[in-house]
Structure 1
């Protein structure tokens, strides 16, 4: 099972479609700031939440999905003070009995286990704010989750 996690594409449908073509059998998560309408073709078959730059009221602030027996909380992160600490995300995940959180907002890729919750930020696919290039996360499940960050330009 492959899960492609993306965020902060800021209106760029081309980069979303390009990644979807590369992983025809994967599931897709977008952690907000797509700046697209919920019914945009590029977001078809993508679990997507609203970010602070999204204006479409049809998008939800958070979603919980289940993949490979794992409950996953999807948020953008702007309501959870993610620039200061990931702990608010962990607390929210525990409230919902999720063991993985996918979020964006900071444009900084990273993944870590905190109190038995896997916290993943795929970075931004269009505007990285760290030394790491524009990226998305590829989470692969084979008895446990493995997370890799993929450079958008190198795919």
Structure 2
């Protein structure tokens, strides 16, 4: 079983990220869905695995891509911050975009509210925010994604 951490919207407040690393390691990879506000270098150094970053709407000075598409463990990922896909209103636009790119897993952030569901055969993940959660209860959140040798997926929204 390979284990991946999906996080977003840390906004330069790094302590919770490091706490999650301590809780969840060892990891096979980390996906950060943007709004790290300059912490990407520190995160990459702290991680003992590959880290996939996309820049968010608050990553003004980042040269990182705003979108990534990649294959991992038999799945095609589309990762973006989400602000260009109206994710605060509805998930259909980002789901349609992911499908058009051949993705079966879509990861995004921006809303600071966690989502983990399958919509029309596509996994749609928003880990929420580790720094400024907006969902009821306002607990910092992230997602752990596990993929077995048959490429079957398990996922869980977790809270600090």
- Answer whether TM exceeds 0.5 for this pair: yes
Aligned Cα root-mean-square deviation (Å): 1.5
- Partner of 2:83: helix, strand, or coil? coil
Counterpart position of 2:29? 27
Call closer, same or farther: CA 1:25–1:111 in 2, change over 3 Å: closer
1:50 maps to 2:55: yes
SS in structure 2 opposite 1:15?
helix
Which range moves more in the overlay, 15-24 or 81-90? 15-24
* Aligned partners of 2:4 and 2:27 also within 8 Å: no
1-side partners of 2:113 and 2:15: how far apart?
21
Does the alignment pair 1:87 with 2:88? no
**Quick check: 1:37–1:56 contact (8 Å CA) kept in 2?**
no
Moved more, 40-49 or 2-11: 40-49
Work out whether residues 14 and 39 of structure 2, in 8 Å CA contact, stay in contact via their aligned partners in 1. Answer: no
Partner of 1:12: 13
1:135 maps to 141
Q: Displacement, 1:37?
A: 5.5
Q: TM-score, normalised by structure 2?
A: 0.87
TM-score (norm 1): 0.90
1:76 alignment partner in structure 2:
81
Q: What is the SS of the residue equivalent to 2:19?
A: helix
Q: Report the CA distance between 1:55 and its aligned residue.
A: 1.3
Q: Count the aligned residue pairs.
A: 151
* Aligned-partner Cα distance in 1 for 2:72–2:22: 21
2: CA distance, partners of 1:86 / 1:77: 10
